[in-house]
Amino acid sequence: MTLSDAAAQTAGILLLSLLAVEWGGTFLFRVATERVGATDVQRRLYRAGHAHAGVLVTLGLITAVLTDATSLTGALAEVARSGVAVAAILMSGGFFAAAAGRTRAHPAGVALLTVGAVSLAGGVLTLGLALLLGR
């Protein structure tokens, strides 16, 4: 199977971004071992941000490749190929930004989470329908 240039570029970027997720794991370890101070709310938000980053980057790799199995072109292909990858950035960033509030989620983080959820939904909906409908 040969990947399109767009799929190969997206997959390459996502694979390299896993280094940032790995670094985030070391930060999370320092929080868990109390080498970095954090409130209970912050710990939960850090953990959620790290988990969403790893899962969504992995799902983004799959969507990058599966988009090539459709006949989508233009903006629809970009949404299908990149929607999940963009969601990985926005949603994990949203959890980390939300942790700026020591006792409750910071509003900027909540806004990023919302936009990320829309990106995730757009990507999986576009690709899922294209695969089901044979487009």
Output the pLDDT for position 106: 87
Instruction: Give the predicted TM-score (pTM) of the model.
Output: 0.90
| Alpha helices, H only, 1-135 | 5-32, 40-67, 74-98, 107-133
Chain center to CA of 61 = 10
Note down pLDDT in tens along the chain; length 135 residues. Answer: 789 999 999 999 999 999 999 999 999 999 999 999 999 999 999 999 999 999 999 999 999 999 999 999 999 999 999 999 999 999 999 999 999 877 788 888 999 999 999 999 999 999 999 999 987
If 0-12 CB within 10 Å is exposed, 13-18 middle and 19+ buried, where does residue 92 land? Answer: buried
Closest to 67 measured CA to CA, from 55, 54, 52, 82: 82
Output the pLDDT for position 102: 75
Q: Which domains does the chain have, with CATH numbers?
A: 5-133 (1.20.120)
How far apart, in whole angstroms, are the C-alpha atoms of residue 86 and residue 106?
21
* Spatial contact of 123 and 83, defined as CB atoms under 8 Å apart: yes
* Spatial contact of 60 and 84, defined as CB atoms under 8 Å apart: yes
